[in-house]
A and B are shown apart, each in its own frame.
Chain A
């Protein structure tokens, strides 16, 4: 009897998961599908699902008009660089909060998270002025710093959650054996937290890859990443839906592939500490 109930539940849960998954995936599917239509087919009413003449014309036009590889390289460098910078700063910060907490640690953690609630546009001018002052406009380095800073609270929070799961006694034992603070973090804590660090890296790489406010407002021709590549095909006056879809598909393809191969780590990272 109990087995039957369990099977029923499994079916319902599976069906619900598939339904939600398909709903979430539908915009991506539609974007990819539209990229193979002509502009006229892209706006057809009723929408065309399969019965249309598939074409690669949009990809050819996008390739001809834009230097995709330049945008892609900028995305890789900016997202990768900001994530690595973030990890380097977040590991010691999370270590101190997890293993040497003070009475204000929880307040500090909450305060860090609260900075994520600040609307980005509210600090557009101050940050733009700082960028102008230090000649950072339209540089990958400048964007790395900004994206690292805006994602730092999440990196620290995630690493803090992982580190809290590691028994403090192990670190104490290392100290008893004469390990310095640097050795303790590098040779004892970090190797034990590799799965956590890997999923934090992945998630933050995706967040930085998708960031579209700062990457559009602080770049021009040199450091513009794939978000600017997509924005160049959007238009309120003229039909560019099929080309926009082709550009979007090209922009999300690398991150979709990365996500596909690392989904286990990603899910673990997102759900870690959720059920205790």
Chain B
């Protein structure tokens, strides 16, 4: 009897709760899917001000970058409608915009001043001249180096170094006895991790992913040169196990004083000069290296806010985007938390601001962003847009597999030749299956 009563009660409770749950829905609230990083979390803290100002409540769904990508991609392709605003990057925006999945943002108010958006950012977040996502913050990549170690090595970092200088400096700065690695770079598998770094680096070596007929180019000397240079330099001067190091691992090493140089996202500049860094007082910045071929190895990326087509709250979503990516938000953060903590890389006016110019990494961040051109990223012409990616839907899947092969080569599990051969086959097979070839 007891068991029956218990089961009946539990079932009733479940049905009542489930019934309520089935009835869940949105009211006058906008739901925003976003990534977990310092700038986005800071923005969430200021949302109450937006709600007080406009009466629009905001629900946040914060997810890890890769989980977020999968989640919002599923939602937008199935017209799920779970989100009113999505945080997406430069890779997704032009593709989704061209598919008609995003609301155009060309009608933002005059007060918003869309012309103030950095041209590189606005261009990367547009399709055929229409802006589909507003940049919340933007980044390129640059060299962050230890000024004390560089001085001790008797070298001086130029503003625009070459790869040969970086390799030489890395050798000189390496001190295995004291656990100091000359250079720390991403080797971790994943198109947004090690894949992004090696692709940007390969551009400066004259390599490209595809020729004009979408044939893979991993069988070229340029790709072989890129990987051989990278592996030799990392074996000479990189940390042990670099094949599994991504942004966070290298940040951790650098902040503990275990890297002479680190080439990575410009947003890292505020971390290596922040409270958690043990070397904050001796960090210098330089442009990402080149190889004398006219193209640097820096990338371009932005986390931006976009509105999925079909949302019921388009006007409210636009209001939020204007607030979050507008000049007022930057001023609000600067007033409360200092200029070093404002979201960087999105607006020209920020870099014209005298207060921001005093931030040590401001000029090099801007120079890095300005020197990145997604429409002309390779030495030889290529059919795609993008620097550390090719803006085609198939790229993420292909590049993830290719970067896994590269990481296996970094770890010594296969030769560079084998990795390139497999990358060539993977890419050509996928492009053929997708109808490009």
Interface-lining segment among B10-18, B311-319, B373-381: B10-18
Contact string, B13-41, partner A, CB cutoff 8 A, digits 1/0? 01001111110110000010101111001
Contact of B33 (CB < 8 Å), options: A87, A186, A191, A220: A220
Q: Which residues of A contact B60 (CB under 8 A)?
A: 221
A139 within 8 Å of B (CB atoms)? yes
Which residue of chain A has its CB nearest to the CB of B37? Answer: A238
Q: Which residues of B contact A142 (CB under 8 A)?
A: 21-22
A125 within 8 Å of B (CB atoms)? yes
A194 within 8 Å of B (CB atoms)? yes
Interface pair A84/B11, CB less than 8 Å apart? yes
Q: Which residues of A contact B267 (CB under 8 A)?
A: 237
Contact of B21 (CB < 8 Å), options: A190, A223, A231: A223
Interface pair B74/A124, CB less than 8 Å apart? yes
Interface pair A237/B31, CB less than 8 Å apart? no
Q: Which residues of A contact B3 (CB under 8 A)?
A: 190-191, 194
Interface pair B276/A139, CB less than 8 Å apart? no
* A137 touching B248 in the complex, CB below 8 Å, given contacts A217-B74, A228-B61: no
Interface pair A221/B61, CB less than 8 Å apart? yes
A153 within 8 Å of B (CB atoms)? no
Complex: how many Å from CA A275 to CA B244? 43
A43 within 8 Å of B (CB atoms)? yes
CB proximity to A under 8 Å, residues B57-113: 59-67, 70-71, 74-75, 77-83
Q: Which residues of B contact A144 (CB under 8 A)?
A: 14, 18, 21
Complex: how many Å from CA A230 to CA B119? 37
Q: Which residues of B contact A194 (CB under 8 A)?
A: 3
The A-B contact count (CB < 8 A) is 142
Interface pair A237/B248, CB less than 8 Å apart? yes
* A235 touching B65 in the complex, CB below 8 Å, given contacts A81-B18, A216-B71: yes
* A235 touching B61 in the complex, CB below 8 Å, given contacts A39-B276, A141-B18: no
Interface-lining segment among A128-136, A154-162, A165-173, A265-273: A128-136
Interface pair A216/B67, CB less than 8 Å apart? yes
Complex: how many Å from CA A132 to CA B75? 9
Q: Which residues of A contact B71 (CB under 8 A)?
A: 216-217
CB proximity to B under 8 Å, residues A66-110: 77, 80-81, 84-85, 87-88
Contact of B63 (CB < 8 Å), options: A39, A81, A124, A216: A216
B356 within 8 Å of A (CB atoms)? no
* A234 touching B61 in the complex, CB below 8 Å, given contacts A128-B80, A216-B67, A222-B24: no
Contact of B70 (CB < 8 Å), options: A80, A217, A240: A217
Interface-lining segment among B126-134, B229-237, B250-258, B339-347: B250-258
Interface pair B22/A232, CB less than 8 Å apart? no
Complex: how many Å from CA A231 to CA B193? 19
Q: Which residues of A contact B21 (CB under 8 A)?
A: 77, 139-142, 144, 222-223
Give the Cβ gap from A193 to chain B, nearest Cβ, in Å: 10
Interface pair B64/A237, CB less than 8 Å apart? no
B364 within 8 Å of A (CB atoms)? no
A12 within 8 Å of B (CB atoms)? no
Interface pair B276/A40, CB less than 8 Å apart? yes
Contact of A224 (CB < 8 Å), options: B4, B36, B37, B61: B61
Interface pair B36/A233, CB less than 8 Å apart? yes
Complex: how many Å from CA A271 to CA B133? 55
Contact of B78 (CB < 8 Å), options: A40, A132, A136, A220: A132
Which residue of chain A has its CB nearest to the CB of B267? Answer: A237
Complex: how many Å from CA A138 to CA B70? 16
A264 within 8 Å of B (CB atoms)? no
* A137 touching B81 in the complex, CB below 8 Å, given contacts A80-B14, A81-B17, A237-B265: yes
B247 within 8 Å of A (CB atoms)? yes
* A84 touching B14 in the complex, CB below 8 Å, given contacts A45-B258, A220-B83: yes
Give the Cβ gap from B171 to chain A, nearest Cβ, in Å: 23
Q: Which residues of B contact A77 (CB under 8 A)?
A: 14, 17-18, 21
Q: Which residues of B contact A220 (CB under 8 A)?
A: 31, 33, 59, 61, 82-83
Interface pair A88/B64, CB less than 8 Å apart? no
Give the Cβ gap from A97 to chain B, nearest Cβ, in Å: 20
A178 within 8 Å of B (CB atoms)? no
Give the Cβ gap from A108 to chain B, nearest Cβ, in Å: 25
Give the Cβ gap from A199 to chain B, nearest Cβ, in Å: 15
Interface pair B14/A238, CB less than 8 Å apart? no
Q: Which residues of B contact A65 (CB under 8 A)?
A: 41, 44
CB proximity to A under 8 Å, residues B257-306: 258, 265, 267, 271, 276
A6 within 8 Å of B (CB atoms)? no
* A236 touching B10 in the complex, CB below 8 Å, given contacts A141-B19, A216-B71, A220-B31: no
Q: Which of B25, B36, B59, B77 has the most CB of A within 10 A?
A: B36
8 further A-B contacts with Cβ under 8 Å, apart from A44-B256, A65-B44, A232-B61, are A80-B14, A132-B78, A139-B21, A139-B24, A216-B71, A217-B71, A235-B36, A235-B65
In the A-B complex, list the 4 residue pairs whose CB atoms are closest, starting with the nearest.
A140-B21, A221-B59, A141-B18, A234-B64
| Interface residues, chain B, with chain A CB atoms under 8 Å away | 3-4, 7, 10-11, 14, 17-22, 24-25, 31, 33, 35-38, 41, 44, 59-67, 70-71, 74-75, 77-83, 192-193, 246-248, 251-253, 255-256, 258, 265, 267, 271, 276
12 residue pairs of the A-B complex, CB under 8 angstroms, read A88-B11, A128-B78, A132-B80, A140-B24, A217-B70, A220-B59, A221-B59, A228-B63, A234-B67, A235-B35, A237-B65, A239-B251
